[in-house]
Chains A and B, each alone.
Chain A
Amino acid sequence: MKADLLAEFETPEALLAAVEELYRRGYRVLDAFTPYPVHGLEQALRLPRSKLPWLVLPFALGGGGGCYGLQAYLNGWDYPLDVGGRPPHSAPSFVPISFEMMVLATALMGVLIFFALCKLPELHHPIFEVEGFAGASQDRFWLGIDGRDPALKRGTTEALLASLGASRVAWTGETAKAAETSEAVKKPTEAAEEVPGAVTKEEPS
């Protein structure tokens, strides 16, 4: 997700309504930035379940199984020790350490994979250059549309967002510079009865 077109809303209700309307009009790559979790937003955005549990599973099994294997190899085969007459391969005594290693491997890899999935750490993101975006962590509700969204049309989408109640519409980063010539960015038209794609305005270079 790489929010290219951003829109600011005053209330969570307006944001939710806008997300629903955009989805109805064929927009699919949407994201939202809110100061607190908004009830029903995940469903409205149709966010899929996280892949994290499945990605972590092999590390859980590998960490636990590998640690059990290591203990079995060391104590049972490589250097057997007689501890109170027990057999060298005594499963019960291997369980706590295998369990701990499973938890360690799972938690550590969980954090690392989570960072990788979020593409973190990221030292700079153009989204923060957008004027007023800091409000997303205070009292404003921002909606983002990815540039790869097939329904996104420069010129019409801005107007549509404004008609949905956006108090501010802005492009991010390079696209913002490229769009500086576009009238639509600065003055979103009042009405947006056009279905995206139906009317094609002049495309900026």
Chain B
Amino acid sequence: MIHDAPRFQGGRRLFAASLGMSVLGAAGLLAGLLVNPDRLHFAYLAAFAWAATIATGGLVFLMICHAMRAGWPVALRRLTETIVSALPLLALLFVPLLFGLDRIYPWTHPEAAADEHVRHLLEHKRPYLNATGFVIRAGVYFAVWGVAGHLLRRWSLRRDEAPELDVDGRMNGLSAVGLPVVGLSLVFASFDWLMSLDPTWVSTMFPIYVFAGGFVGALGLLTALTCAAQRAGLLPGLNGSHYSALGRLMLAFTAFWAYAAFFQFLLIWSADHPHEVAFYLRRWEGPWKATTVALCAARFVVPFVMLLSYRLKRRPGYLAVVAAWIVVSHYVDMHWLVIPEARARAWFPYHWLDVAALLFFGGACVAFTTQRLRGKRAMPVGDPSLPRALQYESL
């Protein structure tokens, strides 16, 4: 029996609202270009990193589910694909950043470094950290992610119309082969885009930290979307066990994020090397101290304690609130990674440009993905394993 789910036809108001948000954000960013172009680039990068890590986190989740032929996530596959489908837009929105590399990355002009040692280090790292390499590598990352996401989504969509099509083998093979490639590209993307903001600072845990945050952010967004789609009647047959499973995954990866964050800190704190601790010292002085403490609470303590509850994980409305909280706290995390590197001594670490960038990226991604989902079903109705996925039950 083929399960039936209605096509997504609405969302026009959502599309208009998010497009409006994005236009408003774009206007703010353009104003920022005249007022404070340096801060604008940092704000733009923070919001970009937020959106890109969530989209790639969704891609990794999608590929893991295909690679291990997971059962229950089939019911949420189309929504995961929708999160991933923002990647082409994100590739496009990455381009403006390329015109301002010299404003945010000190490695673009090693000769300007005041310290002799730093200048020497930057010269030494030049074969990797240079503008041409940066652009080519970014192209490769987006190509890898875009191709994997596009193929998986296209095969899945095609089977909606032709359920007799057997694409399981292809999806499974591509995901199994693609996961290490995607994993490596995520590692180097986090080196390039975020770690090289301070080109003298190195941490091998850093890519795991960024990935863990993006992955739990993607799970949070998926949970919130699932709740919204089910309320709109797009996901018939979904039950509390699916939410519970999402909740457990969020709990596990919240703990994983905390593990990565703490051990990155512990190793650097124990070794106490001046060039390594600088990263944490910058985030422990002035207004950043409060943000650091708040981040630990918001990103780990609050969601962890909330998600421990059995009942909360089975109530879509409450779980969606925690999930949305996680998505927002992931932005605070990205902001915390990027903005202190601006070395702007302000008493308040947040800027109206952050809000503008957030509106721009949030609005643009929602509008774009809404448009891509329109006319499609919110469940992979052609997949023969969907009925079993809907029967999923966990106590």
Contact = CB atoms under 8 A, between A and B. Distances in A.
Interface string A25-50: 00000000000000100100000010
B262 A95 contact: yes
Interface in B48-99: none
Interface in B353-395: 393, 395
B266 interface: yes
B111 interface: no
Contact of A92 (B269, B310, B393, B395): B269
A143 B265 CA distance: 55
Contact of B395 (A42, A84, A93, A96): A42
A33 to B, nearest CB: 18
B272 A92 contact: no
B204 interface: no
A96 B393 contact: no
B310 A95 contact: no
A52 to B, nearest CB: 12
B132 interface: no
Contacts of A39: 393
A3 to B, nearest CB: 22
A102 to B, nearest CB: 13
A93 B395 CA distance: 38
Nearest to A42: B395
Contact of A84 (B262, B272, B393): B272
Interface residues of A, number: 8
Interface in B184-240: none
Interface size class of B (residues with CB under 8 A): under 10
Nearest to B310: A49
Interface in A39-84: 39, 42, 49, 84
Contacts of B310: 49
Interface in B288-308: none
A96 B265 CA distance: 12
Interface in A149-175: none
Nearest to B272: A84
Contacts of B395: 42
Interface in B243-270: 262, 265-266, 269-270
Contacts of A93: 266, 270
A170 B18 CA distance: 68
B272 A95 contact: no
A96 B266 contact: yes
B387 to A, nearest CB: 14
Contacts of B266: 92-93, 95-96
Nearest to A90: B269
A93 B269 CA distance: 9
Contacts of A96: 266
A55 to B, nearest CB: 15
A114 B16 CA distance: 56
A17 B393 CA distance: 20
A57 to B, nearest CB: 10
Contacts of B265: 92
A150 B269 CA distance: 64
B144 to A, nearest CB: 36
Interface string A115-142: 0000000000000000000000000000
A84 B272 CA distance: 9
Nearest to B395: A42
A42 B393 CA distance: 12
Contacts of A49: 310
Contacts of A42: 395
Nearest to A84: B272
A136 to B, nearest CB: 21
Interface in B308-360: 310
Nearest to B311: A49
A119 B247 CA distance: 33
Contacts of B272: 84
Contacts of B262: 95
Contacts of B393: 39
A188 B136 CA distance: 82
A32 to B, nearest CB: 15
A132 B289 CA distance: 69
Contacts of A84: 272
A124 to B, nearest CB: 30
Contacts of B270: 92-93
A150 to B, nearest CB: 27
Nearest to A37: B395
Interface string B270-289: 10100000000000000000
Nearest to A47: B395
A56 to B, nearest CB: 12
7 residue pairs, one from A and one from B, having the closest CB atoms: A92-B269, A92-B266, A42-B395, A84-B272, A49-B310, A95-B262, A92-B265
Interface of A: 39, 42, 49, 84, 92-93, 95-96
Given A39-B393, A92-B266, A96-B266, 9 more contacts: A42-B395, A49-B310, A84-B272, A92-B265, A92-B269, A92-B270, A93-B266, A95-B262, A95-B266
13 contacts: A39-B393, A42-B395, A49-B310, A84-B272, A92-B265, A92-B266, A92-B269, A92-B270, A93-B266, A93-B270, A95-B262, A95-B266, A96-B266
